[in-house]
Amino acid sequence: MDLGFVIALVAGLVALWVALLIVLWLLRPKDVPARELVAVVPDALRLIRDLITDRGVALDVRAVLVGLLIWILSPIDLIPEFVPVLGPLDDVIVAIVAMRYVRRRLGVEEISRRWPGSANGLAVLAGVIGPGNPGESWLRR
């Protein structure tokens, strides 16, 4: 494997994480501390992994999540990662759109039930992917 490719992949993933943290910081509830934001991305990845591996989750939801992971890990992007700010932005937008689709298909209660992180982390996720349908609650069960 080419070392340059590995370095570019790692740099792209770091840039994506930084971009996600910036988006999460801007959309977070004001009472959520910064250290909670750092944990949201790994918690979201655990949630995605759990949803993909659960055969009880609808096939279209699992396919969207697999597509999201492929999109993020793919070295081919609409905007190259080395472009400051805009590079990782297309990945962030695709991630938000995919998670909103998952929210619509599963419902906020199901996502809340499966969320592996803290209640503050769930509040951050809710701020990013939206409130859900009327009558649904992001409160953890």
How far, in Å, CA of 36 to CA of 107, rounded?
23
Q: Number of C-alpha atoms within 13 angstroms, CB side, residue 32?
A: 23
Q: Domain ranges in the chain?
A: 3-129
Residue 141 has pLDDT above 60, yes or no: no
Do 48 and 20 meet the contact criterion of CB atoms below 8 Å apart?
Answer: no
How far, in Å, CA of 123 to CA of 32, rounded?
8
Mean pLDDT of 112-123: 90
Mean pLDDT of 24-40: 71
| CA-wise closest residue to 91 among 100, 101, 81 | 81
Q: How confident is the model at residue 124 (pLDDT cuts 50, 70, 90)?
A: confident
Alpha-carbon distance values, 2 to 6, 9, 10, 74 (Å): 7, 11, 13, 15
Q: Give the rounded percent of residues in the chain with a pLDDT score beyond 70.
A: 84
